Amino acid sequence: MIIKGEVIMKAREIFRVLTLLVLLAGLMPAVRSSAAPGAGQDQDKRPEFYARDIVLEQNVKNAREALRGPDGRFAEIGIGGQIVVLMEKRIIPSAAFDDGQVVCQGEANFGLEGWFLQAGTEEAPQYAWMTLFPGKSPGGFRLMSQDMIRGTPEGSPGVNMIRISNNDTKPILVDAVVGYGIKEDRPPCLSPVARYARIIN
């Protein structure tokens, strides 16, 4: 009877541990989604640059408030509207970190695209809009997918134009568009063609 009692106690203890693990697993996505921008990614230790000019605006109020760094002033993109910004410098894909961030007020549902060099020659380059991938931080984005397979075309020098489209059912407020530079001890994620182009230039 003593042995049977010990087995029952151990079974109850294992059940309590398993229940605790299940509860913790359920909380993890919520903790991750509520983390501050750049949390766990050393984004604050990387050089930042911002949008410097408006290329196109459609159904947008105070578009120029989306320029420069975050300052608490917002461009309002109406339902179905869009804005295209020109960055201060090109955003280059990073191997493990977000490449940039759209700073908005509250939660927002928007489409994000980059103006990528696709093909052509130096005299006649061919560009196209390509979807940017969600990053790890709130509002963060990447030029390549997490598996490093889809995204930035081989040999692309990155992007300096970003298009934000309002896919929400309400206006969205954009404070800033941030690009993250590459630290000297962390080389950019370049394809063999891009690395060769860098060497010969």
pLDDT computed for residue 119 by the predictor: 80
Give the whole-angstrom CA distance, residue 171 versus residue 38. Answer: 25
| Nearest by Cα to 171 from 36, 58, 37, 34 | 58
Residue 28 has pLDDT above 50, yes or no: no
Rounded to whole angstroms, the Cα distance separating 62 from 75 reads 5
Q: In degrees rounded to 5, what are phi and psi of residue 137? A: -100, 155
Segment 15-25 shows an average pLDDT of 42
What CA–CA distance (Å, rounded) separates 101 from 81?
A: 19
Instruction: Quote the pLDDT of residue 145.
Output: 60
Segment 86-108, tens digit of pLDDT: 999 999 887 778 999 999 998 89
Does pTM top 0.85 for this prediction?
Answer: no
pLDDT band at 85 (very low <50, low <70, confident <90, very high): very high
User: What letter represents residue 161's amino acid?
Assistant: M
What six digits make up the tokens of 51? 């949008």
From residue 15, give the alpha-carbon distance in Å to each of 10, 24, 27, 28, 103: 9, 14, 19, 20, 44
Q: What is the pLDDT of residue 86?
A: 97
Please report the sign of the dihedral spanned by the C-alpha atoms of residue 56, residue 146, residue 38, residue 186: negative
Residue 66: CA atoms inside 13 Å, Cβ hemisphere, count? 31
User: Is-contact 137 39, C-beta < 8 A?
Assistant: yes
DSSP string, 113-143: EEEEEEEE-SSSEEEEEEEPEE-SSTTEEES
Q: CA-to-CA distance for 97 and 116, rounded, in angstroms? A: 19
Structure-model confidence comparison of residues 46 and 101, the more confident one? 101
Torsion from C-alpha of 109, 110, 111, 116, nearest 10 degrees = -140
pLDDT at 161 over 70: yes
